[in-house]
Amino acid sequence: QAQPAGVRPAAGEPPTQPFLRIEAVAHTAPVARLATDAAGRLLATVSDDKTLRLWDLPDGTPRGVLRPPIGTEAEGELYAVALTPDGTRAFAAGYTGSAWDGAFCIYVFDLRTSALVARLPGLPAPVQHLAVSADGERLAAALGARAGIRVWDARNGRALWEDTAYGGPARTVGFSPDGA
């Protein structure tokens, strides 16, 4: 159900106002990041066009489009994506959640159903990069605006660790092949 003009959803609730979008079968803005599953059969791409697109590999056939909650201006632009090694979940973030929640968040999609199933809220800055450990147990995020790095349990979203004291920009994160 759409919100009346000029009415914002309550803090913590995604917007319900519909936005007309044309499906172009490809991104309509530059691709910000990409990720693959461990087997190299699935590719995920995100863009400022506010879409997460899935592609079958190796031929690059379009598999689907996932759309997070969006708003006007930058709200909903995606700058980061990560896939679980088994390719069953995608994490996407960027300029996400701030317009309606007052803080940024990471969206969690179930790729078997193409549904948005959860979000990791309360981030002080847009997410610049995401990574999932090789065992699929941890998710790390590099936050913009010198807001540090955070790590969650990728299976349940429980916060595990954060570094907010680092004074430089965090642009990328990654795990070693052994998961450390």
Reported as a pLDDT band with limits 50, 70 and 90, residue 20 is: low
What pTM, to 2 d.p., does this model score? 0.87
pLDDT tens digits, 131-166: 999 999 999 999 999 999 999 999 999 999 999 888
Residue 144's pLDDT is what? 93
Question: What is d(CA 21, CA 23) in angstroms, rounded to the nearest whole number?
Answer: 6
pLDDT at 18: 67
| Dihedral pair phi/psi, residue 85, rounded to 5° | -55, -35
Where are the domains positioned within the chain? 31-163
The predicted pLDDT at position 4 comes to 37
Half-sphere exposure of 61 (CA within 13 A, CB side): 5
Strands (E), 72-157: 77-83, 89-95, 104-110, 115-123, 127-132, 138-143, 149-153
Label residue 100 by pLDDT band (50, 70, 90): confident
pLDDT greater than 50 at residue 6: no
Per cent of the chain over pLDDT 90 is 72
Mode of pairing for the β-strands spanning 104-110 and 89-95: antiparallel
pLDDT of amino acid 12: 65
Does the structure show a pLDDT above 90 at 117?
yes
* Separation between Cα atoms, residue 114 and residue 176, nearest integer Å: 29
What pLDDT, on a 0 to 100 scale, did the predictor assign at position 14? 73
What are 31-51's pLDDT values in tens digits?
A: 999 999 999 999 999 999 999
Rounded to the nearest 5 degrees, what angle is found at the Cα of 81, between the Cα atoms of 114 and 87?
A: 50
Top-level class of domain 31-163: mainly beta
Q: What number of helices (H) and strands (E) belong to the chain?
A: 1, 12
What is residue 2's predicted lDDT score, i.e. its pLDDT? Answer: 40
The mean per-residue pLDDT over the stretch 62-66 comes to 95
Mean pLDDT of the chain, nearest integer = 88
